[in-house]
């Protein structure tokens, strides 16, 4: 899946304090598209929605986003797919603990029924959200803005496992070995961001602001669950920043956690040395499959800089496979967006570490 994920700050409200409950939440749903079991991780911020869903048989996460403001009572969620010629979207209605509606795809012009029920797991999370802005010239109409937006899941409780997750989440936001409440960290980060913006532009005069957008900045960080089981949790940290120029920069960094041993999983924990040697060929195989390349085609025909793909450290796990995510410019031009290649574990038979197999069995 290729992710062209450009988050904007055109929400219908600004929240200076933290948002819970009706303004923002995270819900996990189990359901079906037609007769095919699916899992959905859904996040709400005001009228904006985002998250991941996957078919349980394959567990290949698909990112989506959308809103509920176009049609009252209806949430429209568009998926991000590698093939620009194919689009798919959900039309969902949520009532109490159920979600229902339709799944549409332009491939074969299919419309299938979707229904799901909220899944109450032992490990529970809030979804905490903060957005604020600072005007460079408060007295100026149309002043440039620095906009700061941040959101994260935050575990409920105070167990050993919960404290491990709090330390992990805090580390994603730059604070190591701490279970400090994330809201305090967010407020410090926001202040640092705004102070830096004002300091760096303190000598800019109003007469210099014929194009205020040039002096505007944005920072967006969202941490969400991509996959969750009783033994495995995968987090996606999406970051977008704009500090001038033709476009902003964005990327998604993944972390997969062993919930039995309360540790972050490294690639060596997943595959043997033999398995690591297999990965370049498997990455090439599934890249070709995603982009419709023949065996005789060069990978550069699919837009890559080089005619090979190496595994990187930015990988994620489900119980069915491993995915590798490449940021814009890492292996291909910006226009190709994030490149996300998923390899089923069935391709790595005999090459998975025995201890890891216990996590996904």
Do β-strands 321-326 and 315-317 pair in parallel, antiparallel, or remain unpaired?
A: antiparallel
- Rounded-to-integer distance, Cα 342 and Cα 332, Å: 17
Tokens of 117: 């029920």
Alpha-helical segments (H) within 260-351: 267-270, 273-291
- Rounded-to-integer distance, Cα 91 and Cα 23, Å: 20
* DSSP tag of 248: -
pLDDT at 93: 97
- Rounded-to-integer distance, Cα 181 and Cα 183, Å: 6
Interval 161-167 mean pLDDT: 98
Residue entry with tokens 């994260």: 152
Task: Judge contact between 328 and 334, C-beta under 8 A.
Answer: yes
Does the structure show a pLDDT above 70 at 9?
A: no
Residue entry with tokens 């890559």: 304
Where is average pLDDT lowest: 16-25, 48-57, 112-121, 196-205?
16-25
Tokens of 111: 């419309």
Where is average pLDDT lowest: 59-63, 120-124, 264-268?
120-124
- Rounded-to-integer distance, Cα 336 and Cα 299, Å: 13
Choose among 343, 360, 339: nearest CA to 63: 339
Choose among 223, 217, 219: nearest CA to 151: 223
pLDDT at 183: 95
Tokens of 101: 């509606």
Ranges of each domain in the chain: 2-9+26-118, 125-263, 267-360
CA 46 from centroid of its chain's CA atoms: 18
Q: Is the dihedral of CA 279, 280, 285, 287 positive or negative?
A: positive
Share of the chain above pLDDT 70, in %: 94
Each residue's pLDDT tens digit, 190-221 = 999 999 999 999 999 988 887 878 899 999 99
Contacts of 261 (CB under 8 A, 6+ apart): none
Between CA 33 and CA 43, with CA 37 as vertex, the angle to 5 degrees is: 75
Per DSSP, the three-state class of 247 is: coil
Task: Judge contact between 100 and 14, C-beta under 8 A.
Answer: no
Q: Which residues pair with 101 in a beta bridge?
A: 92, 114
Phi, psi (degrees; rounded to nearest 5) at 37: -60, 135
Homologous superfamily of 2-9+26-118: Quinohemoprotein amine dehydrogenase alpha subunit, domain 2 (2.40.128.120)
- Rounded-to-integer distance, Cα 222 and Cα 149, Å: 8
Tokens of 246: 């033709």
Cβ atoms within 10 Å, residue 352: 18
Q: CATH assignment of 267-360, given 3.30.70.60, 3.40.50.20, 2.60.120.580, 3.90.640.20?
A: 3.90.640.20
Do β-strands 217-228 and 145-155 pair in parallel, antiparallel, or remain unpaired?
A: parallel
Q: Under CATH, which number does the domain 125-263 receive? A: 3.30.565.40
Q: How confident is the model at residue 22 (pLDDT cuts 50, 70, 90)?
A: low
Q: How confident is the model at residue 3 (pLDDT cuts 50, 70, 90)?
A: very low
What mean pLDDT, rounded, does the chain reach? 91
Each residue's pLDDT tens digit, 307-352 = 999 999 999 999 999 999 999 999 999 988 999 999 999 999 899 9
Q: How confident is the model at residue 17 (pLDDT cuts 50, 70, 90)?
A: very low
- Rounded-to-integer distance, Cα 164 and Cα 179, Å: 8
Residue entry with tokens 């032992």: 122
Do β-strands 232-242 and 62-67 pair in parallel, antiparallel, or remain unpaired?
A: unpaired
Where is average pLDDT lowest: 1-15, 96-110, 132-146, 218-232?
1-15
- Rounded-to-integer distance, Cα 13 and Cα 16, Å: 10
Does the structure show a pLDDT above 90 at 14?
A: no
- Rounded-to-integer distance, Cα 201 and Cα 181, Å: 32
pLDDT at 50: 97
Q: How many residues does the chain have?
A: 361
Proportion of the chain in helix, strand, coil states, percent, rounded to 5: 25, 40, 40
């Amino acid at each position: 899946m290729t992710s062209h994920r450009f988050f904007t700050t055109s929400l219908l409200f600004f929240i200076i304090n933290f948002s819970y409950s009706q303004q923002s939440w995270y819900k996990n749903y189990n359901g079906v598209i037609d007769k095919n079991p699916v899992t959905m991780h859904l996040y709400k911020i005001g009228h904006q929605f985002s998250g991941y869903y996957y078919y349980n048989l394959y567990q290949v996460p698909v990112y989506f986003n959308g809103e509920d403001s176009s049609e009252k009572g209806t949430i429209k969620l568009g998926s991000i797919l590698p093939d620009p010629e194919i689009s798919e979207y959900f039309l969902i209605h949520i009532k109490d603990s159920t979600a229902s509606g339709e799944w549409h795809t332009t491939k074969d012009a299919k419309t299938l029924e979707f229904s799901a029920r909220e899944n109450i797991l032992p490990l529970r999370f809030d979804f905490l959200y903060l957005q604020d802005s600072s005007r460079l010239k408060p007295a100026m109409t149309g002043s440039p803005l620095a906009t700061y937006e941040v959101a994260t899941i935050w575990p409920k409780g105070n167990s050993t496992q919960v404290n491990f997750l709090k330390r992990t989440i805090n580390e994603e936001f730059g604070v190591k070995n701490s279970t400090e409440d994330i809201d305090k960290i967010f407020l410090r980060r926001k202040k640092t961001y705004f102070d830096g913006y004002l300091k760096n532009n303190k000598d800019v005069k109003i007469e210099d602001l014929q194009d205020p957008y040039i002096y505007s900045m944005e920072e967006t960080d969202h941490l969400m669950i991509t996959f969750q089981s009783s033994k495995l949790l995968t987090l996606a940290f999406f970051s977008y920043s704009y500090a001038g120029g033709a476009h902003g920069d964005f990327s998604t960094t993944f972390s997969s956690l062993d919930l039995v041993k309360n540790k972050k999983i490294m690639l060596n924990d997943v595959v043997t040395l033999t398995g690591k040697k297999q990965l370049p060929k498997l990455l090439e195989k599934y890249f070709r499959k995603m982009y419709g390349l023949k065996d005789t085609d060069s990978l550069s025909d699919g837009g890559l800089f080089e005619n090979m793909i190496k595994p990187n450290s930015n990988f994620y796990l489900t119980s069915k496979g491993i995915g590798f995510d490449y940021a814009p410019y890492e292996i291909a031009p910006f226009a190709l967006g994030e490149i996300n290649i998923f390899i089923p574990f069935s391709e790595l038979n005999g090459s998975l570490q025995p201890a890891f197999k216990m996590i996904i069995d």
